[in-house]
Structure 1
Amino acid sequence: MIDFSLSSEQLDLRAGLTALLADHSTPARVRAAEPLGFDPALWAVLGDFGFPQLAGSRDGTPAGLAELVIAAQAAGAALASAPLVETLVATRLLDRLGRADAGTDLVTFAPRPAAGGVARTVPWAAVADRVIAWDEGRIVASGPGHDVTTPKQTLSGLAIGHVDLTGATVLADGPEAAALFAEAAADWQVLTAAGLVGIGTTGLHLGVEYAKTRHQFGQPIGAFQALAHQLADAATLVDGAELLVLEAAWAGDTGSPRCLGLAAMAYTFAGRAARQATDRSLHAHGGYGYTMEYDIQLYFRRAKALGLLGGGDGDETVVALALADTDEGRP
């Protein structure tokens, strides 16, 4: 049996990051960062905390996915308006390539292969200094000042964009590069899944608390089985997703031959769990859940967006993530 209990160091990491995000990633700060979705002040604070160095080697030992999962889950729970997951994945890949020389650059990761020399729907591309991508059998890094196309308004709050990789620096090619990028893509799936678990957990908590305090017919609405069972089913899904994420992280850290498959499973299942949890929670709020004043819609939108970024047709994904190419549009 695999022991997923946290060590004292991991508990300290979770507590420290959770406290930091509670102060610097409040719902008010998340709203203020939209529509682009990036909070430079939060990113500076996270840099002081030790990002992205958390993903680098320490004393020659690569950082474990287990620790990074803790960070990603905390970031998801707080809807952090900063590229924690993508920066951790990019740093980890650069470290494997022996090119961990990003310095103070904000580096993001394109989870899907480029098409026609363009990395499409890349999270945080609109604010990144460099983008690490897979393009025609090569791992490449876009240079400073890369050409990026972004929608003016998005549903995601992830500063997405399409990046032209013309003139990008080739970091590696060949079969070994393909294997390394596959590992990085699996890292992204596992850590994004962890973020989705955090989103689902907090989103569900919002629904449960609302169901406890909202009264109809002389009792809390959570007392009605039709609602209580939906929230309970969603909680079961989120708990299952968390266990699958932990198993995928363990597989990645131990070099299990199942690591790539478990990473894909974790991402797919966590996306489903987070969408259902936030959907049920939003409906528990009734009509209020659809208003911008209530926090649940922030979690609902982020869960939907993260579940789309890892796959699907590029054009369809962009349509789903982008609200409208107008300044008047509002997510």
Structure 2
Amino acid sequence: MDLGLSEEQELLKNSAREFLEKECPEEHVRAMEEDEKGYSPELWKKMAELGWQGLMIPEEYGGAGFSFLDLCILVEEFGRALVPGPFIPNAVCAAELILAGTDAQKQKYLPNIASGAAIHTYAITEPSGRWDREGIEMKATQAGDEYILNGTKLFVPDAHVADYLHVVAWKPDGRLSTFIVPRAQSGISITVLKTIASDKQCEVVFNDVRVPASEVIDMDDATARRLRNMATCLECAYLVGLAQRDFEISVNYAKERVQFGRPIGSFQAIQHKAADMVTDVDGMRYIMYKAAWATSENEESQDMDVAMAKAWCSDASRRVVAHGQQIHGGIGFTKDYIIQLYFRRQKRAELFWGDGDYHRERVAEMLGI
């Protein structure tokens, strides 16, 4: 059984790691925590020149035409480097346009996403914080050939720097649809929230925001599930890269930190923690790639595979970063050390698109129990 990457995928992975080690070091991650934008337009432009924003976008719209599995390989490296900014929500919105956008919408938006000229993000969750359909209460009212949005979206990633918001709301006909809204449109107010990860999640309030019918994306249930699977897999991939690097940093520290005249890594308690960490990381990687492949190939098993992957990756990554903090001891909680960056970023990805409990319930439902 060959679980390895192809030569082209290995090249993508290695070139991404080399680029991010140079362009997104720890100092950059720390600087973006304090930056108002939360990302570097210069780095965003460099990534666009490498074709990353358009990696999965078809060549006819200016993209590279790679698969969703390839995108997950790239995002794993983003998790390793803790790349700040709107790359993942931007990729989810691009996937939505690819899967369900009209020809006119694809022509209008995909080339600018691929070139890095425009940033898109999604506005799904509301004050309830739920990721299921029942958690969405915003309703769009119809006025001629336009729709009017009123309500609040919460925990919207990078809304303050996005050019377009993909707002999920109920249409009068009872369908759950996406409304593409320019961020600068009148009636929209955005507040950046204070979060444990020091990322840029926002509260977005809509007050009589008008959206032309041509800017609405409708999709069937199967397409909606596949898009949700893609978004969830990207968070899993990010967590795999994050957990892998947290493990490496912790093992290196255990080899170097001397206590009682010997490296702390020689103590059995520390060895067992490291063993648990690597077991969890390898399990995360396997189950994530299984789900990513099933989603990329649109296999029937993708819903179950993705739910299992997110349930495992959410909980396993939490165990990994907790062990990393314990191996470092008290200094692991000081901001002078890098390990706390991984601990705080893990919590965001653990919760986005549903935590372990939410996805275990999904698995149980699909098992018919």
TM bin, normalised by shorter chain, reads: 0.7 to 0.9
Q: 5 Å matches for 1:34-183?
A: 34-35=33-34, 37-58=38-59, 63-96=66-99, 97=101, 98=103, 99-100=105-106, 101-102=108-109, 103=112, 104-110=117-123, 112=131, 114-116=136-138, 117-136=151-170, 137-145=176-184, 147-151=188-192, 153-165=194-206, 166-168=209-211, 170-173=215-218, 176-183=219-226
Distance 1:128 1:115 in 2: 23
Aligned to 2:22: 23
Relative to its length, the structure with more strand (as a share) is 2
Q: Which moved more, 1:24-33 or 1:264-273?
A: 264-273
Distance 1:275 1:244 in 2: 16
Residues 119 and 177 from structure 1, CA distance in 2 versus in 1: closer, same or farther, beyond 3 angstroms?
farther
2:44 alignment partner AA: W
- Note if contact 2:72-2:233 (Cα within 8 Å) is conserved in structure 1: yes
Residues 163 and 151 from structure 1, CA distance in 2 versus in 1: closer, same or farther, beyond 3 angstroms?
closer
Shift in Å, 1:311: 3.2
Residues 52 and 25 from structure 1, CA distance in 2 versus in 1: closer, same or farther, beyond 3 angstroms?
same
Aligned to 1:293: 336
Query: What's the CA shift string for 1:148-203, capped at 9, x where partnerless?
Result: 43345322233111233533454223xx3443332222101101100000000001
1:263 alignment partner AA: V
Query: What's the CA shift string for 1:23-52, capped at 9, x where partnerless?
Result: 111110000001453222221221111131
Q: 5 Å matches for 1:310-325?
A: 310-311=353-354
Distance 1:67 1:262 in 2: 18
Matched, 1:308 2:347: no
2:75 alignment partner AA: A
- Note if contact 2:257-2:264 (Cα within 8 Å) is conserved in structure 1: yes
Aligned to 1:270: 313
Matched, 1:259 2:302: yes
- Note if contact 1:125-1:148 (Cα within 8 Å) is conserved in structure 2: no
Distance 2:26 2:293 in 1: 32
Distance 1:58 1:263 in 2: 27
1:182 alignment partner AA: R
Question: Structure 2: where are the runs of 5+ without partners?
Answer: 125-130, 139-150, 171-175, 356-369
Number of residue pairs aligned between Structure 1 and Structure 2: 309
- Note if contact 1:30-1:81 (Cα within 8 Å) is conserved in structure 2: yes
- Note if contact 1:143-1:168 (Cα within 8 Å) is conserved in structure 2: no
Distance 1:118 1:141 in 2: 16
1:139 alignment partner AA: T
Distance 2:203 2:291 in 1: 29
**What is the aligned counterpart of 1:249 among 268, 272, 292?**
292
1:31 alignment partner AA: R
Structure-1-length-normalised TM-score:
0.86
Shift in Å, 1:308: 1.7
- Note if contact 1:42-1:82 (Cα within 8 Å) is conserved in structure 2: no
Aligned to 2:366: none
Q: 5 Å matches for 1:8-19?
A: 8-19=7-18
Distance 1:210 1:200 in 2: 15
Question: Structure 1: where are the runs of 5+ without partners?
Answer: 313-331
Distance 2:339 2:182 in 1: 38
Residues 178 and 192 from structure 1, CA distance in 2 versus in 1: closer, same or farther, beyond 3 angstroms?
same
Shift in Å, 1:217: 1.1
2:341 alignment partner AA: L
- Note if contact 1:248-1:259 (Cα within 8 Å) is conserved in structure 2: yes
1:143 alignment partner AA: P
Distance 1:265 1:122 in 2: 25
Structure showing greater radius of gyration is 2
Distance 1:64 1:118 in 2: 34
State the identity as a percent.
29
Specify which structure has the bigger relative contact order, considering alpha-carbon pairs within 8 angstroms and separated by 6 or more residues: 1
**Secondary structure class of the residue paired with 2:210:** coil
Residues 272 and 303 from structure 1, CA distance in 2 versus in 1: closer, same or farther, beyond 3 angstroms?
same
Shift in Å, 1:138: 0.8
Shift in Å, 1:62: 6.0
- Note if contact 2:226-2:298 (Cα within 8 Å) is conserved in structure 1: no
- Note if contact 1:138-1:178 (Cα within 8 Å) is conserved in structure 2: no
Residues 233 and 58 from structure 1, CA distance in 2 versus in 1: closer, same or farther, beyond 3 angstroms?
same
1:280 alignment partner AA: H
Distance 1:12 1:210 in 2: 29
Distance 2:193 2:183 in 1: 21
